[in-house]
Structure formats: structure tokens, C-alpha cells
């Protein structure tokens, strides 16, 4: 399968490298020039003759600009597989534009972070025509461990946004609980042993514990060097609140989590730390702060 891969940053480069083991890959990025990949001079040049064009881009505005550039240059019947995390409206607009150019589009944002991209263990949440999803399924099998077809165009983004809103909320709750346990004199290991096997069980506690030295290895054990940076959590929470506004959905905890990560990232300058670094933030604060 001939593939173009546009967006070769921290996520895109390892995804493209994994695909290059078994497929003909031509990449393009305005900044990054990773070794070991065949690179084109422009986005439009990279897609010539490609069966599938994969994009991994920072936001909806950039995605739409790239789509404007590449869709006229893609061969009829090719698939635009977008793995970016963007707003639902942009994903659906790009899918409509693809159809107008006799192309197919699949929006398939990912979960699993840089480690998942490197190790080929990502989870893909896909929206778009089922036949297009089935055509690119072999690529999901190389880049990840699971791919779920979530329905029509934009539903992949909807699934990602809802998932990460839950994640942001539960991580804050987990960090608050550890900080409260500290002040109550409850040992962190005892706290973990109870909660991880009780009704407080969650991925934030059991798989990604924000307390150093507790539970499985996590960014907390590496100085909160990011597996998923707080600035990216803020991006996804903001997308959730834009989607909630567009859908007239009441998400008070999602709104509160967004506001807290805005404070953490923008006012306190902690955006480059892992999103679980909320725990040391709460450790230093009292109820009156």
C-alpha cells in the first residue's frame, strides 16, 4: 500500500516509521525531518499516487488548511485518514470536502501517547464510512493494538473528546484524594491498596497513579516527565467544552476540570509536565488558597 504521512512530530514520526517497515511511505512536515523516512518537498507532492494519506496535525484550522492543499492532488478513490485530535465540526467539514473530491475520509484520533506510537500499541477511535474503515484496518493493526469504528464522520473525534473529558476529571479527583489522604495521615500505599480494589477504582488510580512509588510505573516516577502533557489535556478539555456548547450538553465537571487545567497550564506555567502533576500542586495548597 502506498501511503503519504503528513505531520511527523512526536506522534507522527514513530507511527510513520512503524508503517515504513511494511509499506511504501512518503512523509512531509513543515519542521520535523525524521531520519529513515522518504520525505517530499510539499504536502501536495507527498500525496501523489497514494492509496491512503494520513495526517497527524495540531488542530482543526491546520487540518482544514492541509486538506485544502492535498485533496485536489489526491487520486480519486483514495482515503484521507486523519489521526489528529481536532474539533468535531472540523472533522466533519474535512470529510464533506473529501467526498466532494471523490475521496473517502476517516477521522481516527488516538489514545496511548508517544509510548503507544513508538511501540505500536495505540487505540484508534474511528468515524467515517465502514468500508473505508475496513480498508485502513491493516494500518491500524500495525500502528496500534485496537481500532473501534464509532459511526459516521466526526464520531471518532466525539469518542476521543468524551474519553479524555472523563480522564481529566478522574485524574483531578485522584490527585485531590491523595492530597486529602496525606493531610489525614493516611499512608499512600494503604490508600492505593484500598482504592485500587474498591469502588474508587479508575485508570487514573490503577494504571497511571499520580503518586510516585505507588502502583505501576508512571510519569510520577520520572519527575512527571510527560507521557501526556498537561497542555495537551487542556487542549482536549477545551474541545470537550466546545462540543458541549455546540450540542447544548450540560457538563459541569468537564467545565470545572477545564478551568483547573487552564489555571495549572497558563497561570502556573506547568503545561510541559505530565497531566498527573496535579498531585504536587494540591500537596502545596490549603483549603484557603
C-alpha cell at 238: 477545551
Beta bridge partners of residue 6, listed in sequence order: 28, 55
Contacts 24+ apart (CB under 8 A), 91-98: 91/60, 91/63, 91/127, 91/153, 91/154, 91/156, 91/157, 92/153, 92/154, 93/64, 94/63, 94/64, 94/67, 95/127, 95/128, 95/153, 95/154, 96/153, 97/67, 97/68, 97/71, 98/67, 98/71
- Alpha-carbon distance 211 to 179, whole Å? 10
Strands 122-126 and 110-111: antiparallel
- Alpha-carbon distance 20 to 25, whole Å? 6
| 225 tagged catalytic | no
Q: Read off the DSSP letter of residue 164.
A: H
Exactly one of 76, 160, 225, 245 is catalytic; name it.
Answer: 160
Task: Give the helix/strand (H/E) hosting 147.
Answer: strand 144-149
- Alpha-carbon distance 239 to 246, whole Å? 11
Contact between 240 and 164 (Cβ < 8 Å): yes
- Alpha-carbon distance 119 to 9, whole Å? 16
Contact between 36 and 5 (Cβ < 8 Å): no
- Alpha-carbon distance 167 to 53, whole Å? 30
Catalytic residues: 160
Amino acid at each position: 500500500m502506498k501511503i503519504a504521512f503528513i505531520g511527523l512530530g512526536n506522534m507522527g514520526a514513530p507511527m510513520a516509521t512503524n508503517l515504513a517497515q511494511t509499506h511504501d511511505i512518503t512523509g512531509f512536515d513543515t519542521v520535523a525531518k525524521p531520519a529513515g523516512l522518504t520525505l517530499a518537498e510539499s504536502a501536495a507532492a507527498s500525496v501523489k499516487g497514494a492509496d491512503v494519506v494520513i495526517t497527524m496535525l495540531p488542530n482543526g484550522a491546520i487540518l482544514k488548511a492541509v486538506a485544502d492543499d492535498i485533496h485536489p492532488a489526491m487520486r480519486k478513490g483514495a482515503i484521507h485518514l486523519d489521526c489528529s485530535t481536532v474539533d468535531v465540526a472540523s472533522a466533519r467539514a474535512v470529510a464533506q470536502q473529501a467526498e466532494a473530491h471523490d475521496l473517502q475520509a476517516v477521522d481516527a484520533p488516538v489514545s496511548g501517547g508517544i509510548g503507544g506510537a513508538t511501540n505500536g500499541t495505540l487505540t484508534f477511535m474511528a468515524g467515517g464510512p465502514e468500508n473505508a474503515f475496513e480498508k485502513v484496518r491493516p494500518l491500524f493493526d500495525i500502528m496500534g493494538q485496537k481500532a473501534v469504528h464509532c459511526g459516521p464522520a466526526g464520531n471518532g473525534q466525539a469518542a476521543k473528546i468524551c474519553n479524555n473529558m472523563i480522564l481529566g476529571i478522574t485524574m483531578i479527583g485522584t490527585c485531590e484524594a491523595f492530597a486529602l489522604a496525606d493531610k489525614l495521615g493516611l499512608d499512600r500505599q494503604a490508600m492505593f491498596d484500598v482504592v485500587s480494589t474498591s469502588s474508587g477504582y479508575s485508570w487514573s488510580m490503577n494504571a497511571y497513579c499520580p503518586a510516585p512509588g505507588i502502583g505501576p510505573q508512571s510519569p510520577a516516577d520520572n519527575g512527571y516527565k510527560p507521557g501526556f502533557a498537561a497542555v495537551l489535556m487542556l487542549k482536549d478539555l477545551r474541545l470537550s467544552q466546545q462540543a458541549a456548547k455546540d450540542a447544548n450538553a450540560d457538563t459541569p465537571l468537564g467545565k470545572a476540570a477545564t478551568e483547573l487545567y487552564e489555571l495549572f497550564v497558563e497561570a502556573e506555567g506547568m503545561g510541559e509536565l505530565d497531566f498527573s502533576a496535579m498531585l504536587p500542586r494540591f500537596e502545596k495548597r490549603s483549603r484557603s488558597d
